[in-house]
Structure 1
C-alpha cells in the first residue's frame, strides 16, 4: 500500500491532501509530478523513522527529477539519513552533491560543518591534535558559509568560531 494511503494522523493526512491538490494544479510535466510523489513519500517515511523506505523513495525521485534545485533537496535528505545512521562519509558525499546543485543551501553547509566538528572531537579524544585541528578548520569554513547564507540561524556556530579564534568577523549580519 502506498505511504500516502497509510497516513493515519491529521497532520499527515492534511499534508497529503494539500500536496495532491498542488500536484493537480501545478503546470509541471508528468515526470516532475511523479518525482514529487516519491519525494513526498520519502519525507513521510523519514519522519516516521522508516529510513530504508525513505531512501528507496528518494532514489526513485532522483531518477525522475530534472530540476537541479529540487534534486539538491532530495540529495540533502539522503545525506540526513546517512548522517543519522552514523555513515558520515556517505552523508558528506550527498551534502556536497546538494551544494553543487544549490550553492545557497545553508543547512547543507551547516551539516557538513557539524560532521567535521564531530570528527575533530573524535580525533582530539584519540590524542590526534593535528588531525583534530584540521577537522575544526574545515568545520569553520563550512560554518562561515552557512552563516553568510543564513546569519540568524547558527548562533552557536558563530560563538564557537569567535571563541576558537577561527573567525575575524565580529558580526555576520
Structure 2
C-alpha cells in the first residue's frame, strides 16, 4: 500500500476517533449528534469515490455519489465530482471539441454527449448554489458555454 494511502487511512481513523470522543464530551443535543452522523456518513461515501475513480469505475462512482447525496443533500463536492465525471467521460471542451471521441464517433453519439454535458452543467449549478463563492472557474466556464444565466 502506498505511503500516502497509509497516512490517509491513519488520518481518517484518527478523525473518526476524535470526533466520537468530542461528541461524547461536548454537550450537544441529540439532533446535533444525528446531524454529524449523517455528515460523516456522507463523507465516507464520498471518499469511496476516490477509490473507484482511480480504477476508472465511473458508474460505481456515480452510485456512491447518489448514496452520499441521499444521506446529505448538501454536499457541493458530490455535485461537483458528479459533474466532473459526466464531463470527463464524454465532455466537450471550451472550444466545442469533444473530449475522448473522434469526430465521427462524436457525430454518431452527439445526442448522448450533449445530454451528459447538460447533466454535468446541472450538477455544477447545484454545487454553485450550495457554495456560491467556491466554484468561480466553473461558473465562468458555464457562462462562456452559455449554460449559466
Give your verdict on TM over 0.5: yes
Unaligned ranges ≥5, structure 1: 1-5, 29-65, 169-173
Match for residue 87 of structure 2 among 117, 141, 155: 117
In structure 2, do the counterparts of structure 1 residues 124 and 73 end up closer, same or farther at CA, with 3 Å as the change threshold?
Answer: same
Residue-pair matches, total: 120
Residue 21 of structure 1 deviates from its aligned partner by 5.6
In the other structure, the counterpart of 1:138 is 119
Match for residue 149 of structure 1 among 130, 136, 139: 130
In the other structure, the counterpart of 2:55 is 85
Match for residue 72 of structure 1 among 42, 56, 76: 42
Residue 88 of structure 1 deviates from its aligned partner by 0.3
The answer to whether the aligner puts 1:104 opposite 2:74 as a matched pair is: yes
Where in structure 1 do 4 or more consecutive aligned residues deviate above 2 Å?
18-26, 66-69, 119-126
Greater RCO structure (CA 8 Å; 6+ sep): 2
The answer to whether the aligner puts 1:27 opposite 2:24 as a matched pair is: yes
* Matched-pair contact (CA < 8 Å) for 1:123–1:131: no
- CA distance in structure 1 between the aligned counterparts of 2:112 and 2:19, rounded to whole angstroms: 49
* Matched-pair contact (CA < 8 Å) for 1:120–1:134: no
